[in-house]
Structure 1
Amino acid sequence: MRIIYLILFIIAGLLLTWLWLDWSKGRQVIHSIPSGSSQYKTENVVSGNETLPWAGNREVEELLRKYDTPVLMASYHASLPDPILWEAYNVALAADRLAGTVLKPGEIFSQNKLLGPYTKARGYRDGPMFAGNKIIPSEGGGVCKIASVLYNVAILANLEIIERYPHSLTVPYVPPGQDATVAYGTYDFRFRNNTTSPLVIWADTYGDTLYIAFYGREKPPRVTWHHEILGKTESWTEYKYNPSLPPGTEKVIFPGQDGITVRSWVTIEQPNGKIIRKDLGISRYQASPCLVERGPLIKK
């Protein structure tokens, strides 16, 4: 029986590795950077005039009436291509726990405090996590998508950011400079409700898309993201011998990606027309290697 269990364990490990590599090939892209340009800007992808997926939801309407927060301050959505393992499950679980959160004026929101720890004991499952320039399975993997979308909504709502960290690699669901990572006990995402009224948060997932919105009593000024690429680090290629490949052939296992350093800021347009600039710091993303397997040499 031990031999059978060992064989099944090895097969499961090989299957997981194959799925992981296949997923990684599709995930390693840099999001929305115009080619040939050192600067770019992005704006809210869900405008205040656009109907959110939970429009007409009685629970949401009652919550907004209870706290007298009828104004959609800001919203953002992000789609995750080809989620693997339990990534989508973790995001949906965290979104469900986030929905209905109410912050008093001056109160600080902490994702780790509200949603963590991201363990199986708390209902989370294995999903992807960055470790340097590699991607590994980890309990709660995927909840950084919550942090990234929250970061964008908080910025667009003109709230005070207390704590935010970029990923070690770029992510495919928000532009470089607009992501946020969390790791319980190490990295948190925190912001302050610096308005004079309660702030209601609602979140939900539809398919592989996460939506988050903030509601209050006053519409914030218009906020626009700006980014400047300060530098790039080219990816490199690493080769590994695979005797099972046909002679003279190569197979790309992991495409790799360039590293990038980005300076980010926002411009805030006040009702009187005055433009204020708010610097958001520099985000540095590592390069990762392109991994290629090579078959035996062709014998002459």
Structure 2
Amino acid sequence: MAVTLYGDKSLSDDRPTVQVTAVSWPGEDEQAGKSAGSGRGPGSWSRRARVLLAGVLAAVVLAGVGGAAAWAYAGDVPRGTTVLGAELGGRSRTEAARELRTELDRRSATLNAPFTVLVGEKEAQLTPAEVGLAVDVDATVAAAAEAEAGPTGRLFGSREVKPVVTVDAARLDAKLREIVGKQGREMTMPAIIFTGTTPKPVYPKPSLALDPERSTEVVRDGWLAGQPVTVPLVEKHPATTREEVDQLVTELARPAVAAPVTLSTDKGKVTIPPAAIARGLRFSADDAGKLTPRVDVKRLRAALGDRLAAIEVAPKDAGLTIAGGKPKVVPGRAGKQVDSAALGRDLLAVLPKSDGRTVTATLKTAEPELTEAKLAELGIKERVSTFSTRFPGGLSSPRSQNIIQAAKDVDGTIVEPGKTFSLNGHTGERGYDQGYKDAPVILGGKLVPGVGGGVSQFTTTLFNASYYAGLEDVEHKPHSYYFSRYPAVIESTIFWPDLDFKFRNNTPYGVLIDTSYTSNTITVSMWSTKIYDSVKTEYGPRRNITQPKTVYLEPGPKCIAAVGSEGFTQDAFRVIKKDGKVVKREKFTWTYDAEPKFICGPEPS
């Protein structure tokens, strides 16, 4: 008997069906002929027996096929499926997950062991746990359940499914960056800068760095291979080429400053000189290194100084003044100014030209940035801190005049929530034209005359007012030597342009800086809405005390004598309380050098 099995793909359960081919025995035709006239001859019984036998055989085959199919389709995961050598086939997802976890536990020593990574020319070891490398059991079992059957079908096929590996991309990138070290290089962004009115090109250079996405991919794929994983360093080129930078210099930067531009309005004309154009013309590269020219109208206005006053009326911000112990609103006013957006666009269009260098502009109403309505929303209603320091010499000394000038420059400043105040940024360079005078400054370890000397005392006073208001310290640097007129550690110097003092308004309310002075004191107060119960300073003891040396200097007008002071190290803790509890305790530490005792005269023999 011949029995043929066929797979019928149309059946919903994908089980094979049975087709029975006709069966014949030798001599059957003869027996059939002899029995043709009778229904009960010997041939008739033989035929019945054979039909019965065929039925039995078919039933046996069907039962076997059904059993095989039931075996092949048992469980969620196809038979013959393995992961990391663990047989998951024929199991439910829960059983397969349990089996895979058992295999991972068995391999835990290997899976948790450090593995080698090669980054450029450096080799290092990474521990899987420190970069979040792990096998995702549930995702792996899901992938195994969905794996396609092999060429012999679900009944006899076999397949190895790769485990699904997870990794913390951010932690991996941080670790790989440590390994890279000095092998990598930052992208040099293209730029064009002006020295006076001469444009200088800065040519782009590609970066050599990790590609976090690629790094994650190769580490995830190579972790379980048992071999060192090579992580590539990738070159990335800026979008603007060297040739395109040269083209911008030739076609825009040089022509831009070759001649002045006339700004024409219905109120008159203003000449924009090449120096002002150079100050306002900016070439900025985005993150991809695409260099784009634009006119920074704010810088252009600063370069033009008072020239625009002939045709414009500047808006005035609303402000606050302290009267009767309370903040009082000083109304602002609108102005009439050249439309900045239109001016930047139209000026950029004429700068490449050698003639026709005229821009026609219209004056439009310019509202103040800080209106009375916005000011009312800032919540400036009470004094939250105040601090005073004493200065010698009275108001007539140059040093005292510098302190008062800085106080006047800052008085009435409003720092909005989230904004950072910079003293250098607010006053600009402090020179003779700004009202500052020569007075002693520390330079090269000794006191010498310098314009703006004494502003450090105002800086210290301002720093302490912000400190006791609980505002965020962004940048400050104490003096090299200790001066008894300042609180130790909690003080700050300043020097244009290298040393600055900055604080950030980290509250939801505006902050008003109010300054005042007497003949021998300078006071800075901060007005806002009170947040904290108290802000105090706790000092640690002075340590590492050093004694001053005596230094003899050549006498003359530039020699400034000093009595000297001890050097020491000290800690100061800012303790901030709210609702009766300490919510912040910040440590400030500084080491003072011993200030030499300077004597203007020859050293005794």
TM-score computed with the length of structure 2 as normaliser = 0.36
* Whole-angstrom distance in 2 between the partners of 1:186 and 1:295: 35
Equivalent residue for 1:155? 467
Equivalent residue for 2:382? 71
1:61 aligns with 2:328: yes
Equivalent residue for 2:545? 232
Q: Report the residue type matching 2:388 in the other structure.
A: H
Equivalent residue for 1:166? 478
Deviations 1:54-113 (A, max 9, x none): 76389x533599544121110101111236851111111111111110011101000000
Equivalent residue for 2:591? 284
Which residue of 576, 581, 589 maps to 1:274? 581
Which residue of 116, 130, 138 maps to 2:450? 138
Instruction: Note closer, same or farther for the CA distance 1:194–1:296 as it changes in structure 2 (3 Å cut).
Output: closer
Q: Are 1:234 and 1:257, in contact at CA under 8 Å, matched by a contact in 2? A: yes
In the TM superposition, residue 163 of structure 1 has moved relative to its aligned partner by 0.4
1:91 aligns with 2:384: no
Instruction: Note closer, same or farther for the CA distance 1:124–1:275 as it changes in structure 2 (3 Å cut).
Output: same
Instruction: Note closer, same or farther for the CA distance 1:109–1:236 as it changes in structure 2 (3 Å cut).
Output: same
* Whole-angstrom distance in 2 between the partners of 1:88 and 1:130: 16
* Whole-angstrom distance in 1 between the partners of 2:519 and 2:554: 39
Unaligned runs of 5+ in 2: 1-321, 332-371, 556-560
* Whole-angstrom distance in 2 between the partners of 1:259 and 1:101: 36
Instruction: Note closer, same or farther for the CA distance 1:135–1:224 as it changes in structure 2 (3 Å cut).
Output: same
Q: Are 1:80 and 1:172, in contact at CA under 8 Å, matched by a contact in 2? A: no
Q: Report the residue type matching 2:381 in the other structure.
A: P
> What is the total number of aligned residue pairs between the two structures?
232
Equivalent residue for 1:110? 422
Deviations 1:220-270 (A, max 9, x none): 33011122223211112346899xxxxxxxxxx642111122222111122
In the TM superposition, residue 277 of structure 1 has moved relative to its aligned partner by 4.5
Equivalent residue for 1:213? 525
Deviations 1:260-292 (A, max 9, x none): 222221111221x22245334321221122245
In the TM superposition, residue 116 of structure 1 has moved relative to its aligned partner by 2.5
Q: Are 1:130 and 1:169, in contact at CA under 8 Å, matched by a contact in 2? A: no
* Whole-angstrom distance in 2 between the partners of 1:57 and 1:115: 27
Q: Report the residue type matching 1:107 in the other structure.
A: K
3-state DSSP of counterpart to 1:62 = strand
3-state DSSP of counterpart to 2:466 = helix
Instruction: Note closer, same or farther for the CA distance 1:104–1:268 as it changes in structure 2 (3 Å cut).
Output: same
* Whole-angstrom distance in 2 between the partners of 1:102 and 1:170: 31
TM-score computed with the length of structure 1 as normaliser = 0.69
1:196 aligns with 2:464: no
* Whole-angstrom distance in 2 between the partners of 1:147 and 1:117: 15
* Whole-angstrom distance in 1 between the partners of 2:401 and 2:547: 34
1:175 aligns with 2:487: yes
* Whole-angstrom distance in 1 between the partners of 2:499 and 2:451: 15
In the TM superposition, residue 177 of structure 1 has moved relative to its aligned partner by 0.5
Map residues 30-69 of structure 1 onto 2, 5 A cutoff: 56=324, 61-62=328-329, 67=376, 68-69=379-380
3-state DSSP of counterpart to 2:328 = helix
Q: Are 2:549 and 2:596, in contact at CA under 8 Å, matched by a contact in 1? A: yes
Q: Are 1:151 and 1:179, in contact at CA under 8 Å, matched by a contact in 2? A: yes
Q: Which has the higher helix share?
A: 2
1:263 aligns with 2:531: no
Unaligned runs of 5+ in 1: 1-53, 243-252
Equivalent residue for 2:139? none
Deviations 1:12-54 (A, max 9, x none): xxxxxxxxxxxxxxxxxxxxxxxxxxxxxxxxxxxxxxxxxx7
3-state DSSP of counterpart to 2:458 = helix
Q: Are 1:79 and 1:173, in contact at CA under 8 Å, matched by a contact in 2? A: yes
* Whole-angstrom distance in 2 between the partners of 1:63 and 1:214: 18
Deviations 1:173-205 (A, max 9, x none): 222101101111211100111111111111021
Instruction: Note closer, same or farther for the CA distance 1:167–1:63 as it changes in structure 2 (3 Å cut).
Output: farther
* Whole-angstrom distance in 2 between the partners of 1:122 and 1:153: 25
Instruction: Note closer, same or farther for the CA distance 1:255–1:105 as it changes in structure 2 (3 Å cut).
Output: same
Instruction: Note closer, same or farther for the CA distance 1:289–1:107 as it changes in structure 2 (3 Å cut).
Output: same
Instruction: Note closer, same or farther for the CA distance 1:133–1:270 as it changes in structure 2 (3 Å cut).
Output: same
Q: Are 1:163 and 1:190, in contact at CA under 8 Å, matched by a contact in 2? A: yes
* Whole-angstrom distance in 2 between the partners of 1:104 and 1:94: 21
Instruction: Note closer, same or farther for the CA distance 1:63–1:74 as it changes in structure 2 (3 Å cut).
Output: farther
* Whole-angstrom distance in 2 between the partners of 1:123 and 1:197: 33
Q: Which of 1 and 2 has greater Rg?
A: 2
Instruction: Note closer, same or farther for the CA distance 1:121–1:239 as it changes in structure 2 (3 Å cut).
Output: closer
* Whole-angstrom distance in 2 between the partners of 1:105 and 1:92: 27
* Whole-angstrom distance in 2 between the partners of 1:232 and 1:74: 33
* Whole-angstrom distance in 1 between the partners of 2:476 and 2:527: 22
Instruction: Note closer, same or farther for the CA distance 1:280–1:126 as it changes in structure 2 (3 Å cut).
Output: farther
Identity of aligned residues (%): 25
Aligned-pair RMSD on alpha carbons? 2.8
